[in-house]
A = this chain, B = another copy of it.
Amino acid sequence: MNQSYLKMSKDELKAQYDAVLAEYNDIKTKGLNIDMSRGKPGSDQLDISDDMLKVFDDGNFKTEAGFDVRNYGLLQGIPECQKLFADLLDVEPQNIIVGGNSSLSLMYDYVNQCMFLGAGFTPWSQQGKVKFLCPCPGYDRHFAICESLGIEMINIRMTADGPDVSQIEEYVKDPMVKGMFVVPKYSNPQGITFSKETVKRIAELTPAASDFRIIWDNAYIVHDLTEKSDDLLNIFSVLPERNKNMVVEVTSTSKISYPGAGVSCLASSEENIKVILKRLTVQSISYDKMNMLRHVKYFKNLDGIKAHMQKHAKILKPKFDAVIDTLNADLSGLEIAEWNEPNGGYFISLDVTGGSASRVGILCKEAGVTLTNVGATFPYGKDPSDSNIRIAPTFPSADVLKQAVKVLTVSVRLACLENLIK
C-alpha cells in the first residue's frame, strides 16, 4: 500500500516529486508512441470474426422469404436480422429498423430529423432554443451531435447507479428540454450500468415536452468482461403508456463483429418507427442487406452472439486487468486518484484530484502516450473539475498497454505532486 500524499510533509512531498520526476524523465527517453485515445478493438479481436466472410460460399443470397439481399429493397432490414436484434434487445422485430455500419449515424440522423423535421410534431428547432440533458462524464460523440446541431447541453451528475435522476426530473419540467443521450450499460467512460431503480425512474419521467426523446445507446449490451455481467433492466418493459414514444434505443455489432463493417439497429415504438421510416424512405433505398445476412448466417442467433462475445472477453480481460493492476499498484493509497473496475464495456475511467487531468494529458503526450482528449468526456470538452481521464485499453497489445499505463500513473503522480508542492 502506498503512503497517502495528503499525509506527507512538504519535505516528503518534495522528495517524492524528485523521484517521480526522475522516473518520468527516464520514461520520456524511451520514445514511446502509443495511442490509447479511442475505444478501438485490437487486431486480434478483428480476426475472430473472419469466418463471417465465408458465409456466402454457399451461393445463397436469399432471405427465408426468398428475397435476394443483393438487390434493392427492404428498407427496414431483412426479417431475420430484425429478429436477431429483437432478441438481443428483447423487443419485437417490427419495432426494429436495421441500419448500416454505424449506430452513430442512426442517432445523428434521428436527432437531426427531430430538430429540423420534427419527432412527429413541430420541429424542435422551431419551438425555441433546444436543450439536451447530458449525464457526464459521457461519450464525446453524443455531445458532438448536440453541439453541431446547436443544441444546448446541460450537465447531469453521474452516480454509481447511473445519472442523477432527481436532477433530470427537475430539468424535464422545461418544455425546451427535448432529449438526453445515455449509455445505460457499461457506460462510456465509467463502465456504470444503470440500476433497476434508475431505469424505472427514467421510464416514469414526466417531461413537459411531449416530444422529449431519450437516445438509449446500448452500445455495450453484451460486452461483458467477466462471468459476473451486469444486468440492465429493459426500459421498454417498464415504460408507462404515456411515455411509449419517449425511448429510441440503438446498438450495433461494431464491437461484436467489425468496427468498420458491422450492422447497427434502432428500436422504438411503432409510431416512432413510422416517423423514422418516412424520412428514411427519402434518404435511402435500403441499407446493406448483404451485410445483414452475412451477420445472421454467421451468428445464427443470440446464443451465437453471446458465445462470440466470450472470445472478445478472453482477449480484453487481461488488458483491463493490466490497467487495473498497475493503477492499484501505483496509485492506491495515495489519495490523489479514483478509478472504476468495470464488468464490461470498453473503458476505464480515472478521476484525479486537484484539477490536474489536463496536466496529466500533457505529460502523457510528451512521454509518447496519447489519451482521449482530457475534457472530451464532458459537454463542450469542458470538465468542470478537470478531473476525468478516459482510458481505452483495448487497442494496444497487453505489453504495450503496460508501458502506457505506467506512463499514465507516473504522469498522474507527477501532476498531483506539482500541485501539492506549490
Contacts and interface: CB of A to CB of B under 8 A. Distances in A.
A258 B56 CA distance: 14
A141 B68 contact: no
Number of this chain's copies in the complex: 2
Kindly state the interface size class of chain A when it binds its partner. Answer: 35 or more
Contact of A284 (B41, B104, B117, B258): B104
Interface string A317-328: 000000000000
Contacts of A112: 112, 116
Contacts of A41: 71
B290 A260 contact: yes
A69 interface: yes
A73 B259 CA distance: 9
A108 B284 CA distance: 8
A70 to B, nearest CB: 4
B148 A282 contact: yes
Contact of A100 (B101, B104, B145, B254): B101
A28 interface: no
Interface in A253-275: 254, 258-261
A129 interface: no
Interface in A347-393: none
A311 interface: no
A282 B104 CA distance: 8
Contacts of A291: 261, 288, 291
B38 A72 contact: yes
A320 B29 CA distance: 71
A171 interface: no
A195 interface: no
Contact of A290 (B100, B261, B281): B261
A205 B38 CA distance: 46
Interface in A298-327: none
A31 interface: no
A56 B294 CA distance: 14
Contacts of A70: 46, 49, 258-261
A101 to B, nearest CB: 5
Contacts of A71: 40-41, 43, 46, 258-260
A144 interface: yes
A31 B301 CA distance: 40
23 contacts: A38-B72, A40-B71, A46-B61, A50-B59, A53-B53, A53-B56, A53-B57, A72-B254, A72-B259, A72-B260, A100-B288, A101-B288, A105-B283, A108-B282, A108-B283, A115-B116, A117-B149, A141-B285, A144-B282, A261-B289, A261-B291, A288-B291, A291-B291
Given A104-B285, A291-B291, 17 more contacts: A40-B71, A43-B71, A46-B61, A46-B71, A53-B53, A53-B57, A71-B260, A72-B254, A100-B101, A102-B284, A102-B285, A104-B283, A141-B285, A148-B279, A259-B285, A260-B285, A260-B288
4 residue pairs, one from A and one from B, having the closest CB atoms: A261-B290, A108-B283, A46-B70, A148-B282
